Amino acid sequence: MGRHSCCYKQKLRKGLWSPEEDEKLQNYITKHGHGCWSSVPKLAGLQRCGKSCRLRWINYLRPDLKRGAFSQQEENMIIELHAVLGNRWSQIAAQLPGRTDNEIKNLWNSCLKKKLRQRGIDPNTHKPLSEVENDKDMPPSTDKGNQKASVASNELSLVDQPAKAMPSERDPLEVSTSSNQELFLDRFGATCHDNRCRPSDMVGSYFSFQHLNYGTTNMGLSANPNSSLCFIPPSTSSDLNNSPISSSMLHSIFPTHVKLQSNNNPSISSDAVQNWECNNTVKSNASMQLQSSTNFLDNTWGVAESMKVNINKDAQVPLQAEQEDLKWSEYLNTPFILGNTPQNQIQTSQTIYSEVKPETGFITDKSCTSWYHQPPAFQLSDIYSKDMQRFSVTFGQTL
């Protein structure tokens, strides 16, 4: 397996980025997009490796980043997500719009781990420290304290292990990653018969429904000994309509590659944006993910329609020529009004926003149009605050 060529190049700058470098990178990506990261530094006139440029953009320069301290709700979400996902920072970050995996990882390592310990909770297992101490006395084969090993083995255990008891029959403190993911697949794995559909693909979906569960059952945080992370699907789609599902949750339900197209303005599809950015690379697993996700929604939940999201089942169809021809400048200069009413604008923008990967989100929200050149038609922070309001209502309590 070859290493990234830039790693061997000499005379490349390392360390902190200067404002001039930031400006060069920002200007370049604003005008041209990043395309192939390995070529960005050369084209942008930077003495950096492409990897470094990518990291700088994702973690610092991206316009959709939410700077500033984490809110209590965000911290709670991170703890909650970590209980299920472990150190999968990118997946956790995907649930927190405007936050990067690096940011969350730092917060966890510097702050949240400490907080949990102070409250008598082991940050690795999310179990009470006393219980973890007892586990240390157990033989290594039963020690689940090793977070990495535990997470890594989860996906295997999902397949190999027999169905577990329902959460209500379990110790409510048992909120480890494996138990929740196993439960999810035990109950809903039938929607994903194809063995190409890996358990990890379902994690995002699991999460969203976990949030729904909080909304419908008023569950507490996993750190709360009285709570459990059981997943009880709503019996009807109307239940789901009443659930506090948000655009960021949709992002989890629908794979990144699924084409979500606005009813109001089909000419501007997020697919075009993505293909423009990815040089028309078609993800090999897109159709599989699409199928698994839509089947999941249609067959199990029947919610696709209720979410007012048009799922184009021809996501694999090549783009229209005019879409392929879209360039940065066109995006930057094209008013991004996606509907006739403010409500529609928000709805559509949220839909598209939810579809775009975190590191590419700048294209669709503030940026395409208004990032530097004009005020946005809507404030992204509105979306965030809207989501966070929902979360705060949903989660209901803090640590």
Partner DNA sequence: AATCGATACAACCGCAGATTG
Partner DNA sequence: ACAATCTGCGGTTGTATCGAT
- Rule CB under 7 A: choose which of 72, 109, 236, 385 binds DNA: 109
Considering the complex, state which of residue 62 and residue 390 has its C-beta at the smaller distance from DNA. Answer: 62
- Does 265 bind DNA (CB under 7 A)? Our answer is no
Amino acid at 389: Q
Counting Cα atoms < 13 Å in the Cβ hemisphere of 53 gives: 28
In the shown chain, the binding pattern of residues 5 to 34 toward DNA, with x for contact by CB under 7 A and - for none, equals: xxx-----xxxxx-----------------
Yes or no: say if 177 and 204 are a contact pair by the CB < 8 Å rule: no
Closest CA to 388 of 241, 256, 204, 247: 247
Amino acid in position 165: A
Please answer whether residues 203 and 86 qualify as being in contact, where contact means their C-beta atoms are separated by less than 8 angstroms: no
Alpha-carbon gap, residue 15 to 13, rounded angstroms: 7
Q: Which of residues 333-362 bind DNA (CB under 7 A)?
A: 357, 359
Residue with token string 């209980």: 83
Dihedral (Cα; 17, 18, 20, 26), 10-degree rounding: 30
Q: Single out the residue of 122, 71, 102, 126 nearest to residue 385, CA to CA.
A: 71
Q: Which of 33, 44, 46, 52 binds DNA (CB under 7 A)?
A: 52
Q: How far apart are the first and last CA of the chain?
A: 45
Is the Cβ–Cβ distance between 147 and 86 less than 8 Å?
Answer: yes
Cβ 162 to DNA, closest distance in Å? 26
Size of the site for DNA (CB under 7 A): 50
- State in angstroms the smallest separation of the CB of 258 from DNA: 15
Task: Identify which of residues 80 and 345 has a Cβ nearer to DNA in the complex.
Answer: 80
Q: Which lies closer to DNA via its Cβ, residue 88 or residue 187?
A: 88
Among 59, 224, 264, 300, binds DNA (CB under 7 A): 59
Query: Shortest gap between Cβ of 299 and DNA (angstroms)?
Result: 25
- Choices 98-106, 310-318, 319-327, 380-388 (CB under 7 A): range interacting with DNA: 98-106
Residue 167 is a binding residue for DNA (CB under 7 A): no
Instruction: Tokens 């360039």: give the residue.
Output: 327
Contact positions vs DNA (CB under 7 A): 1-7, 13-17, 35-39, 48, 50-52, 54-56, 59-60, 69, 87-91, 101-103, 105-107, 109-111, 114, 147-148, 281, 283-285, 357, 359
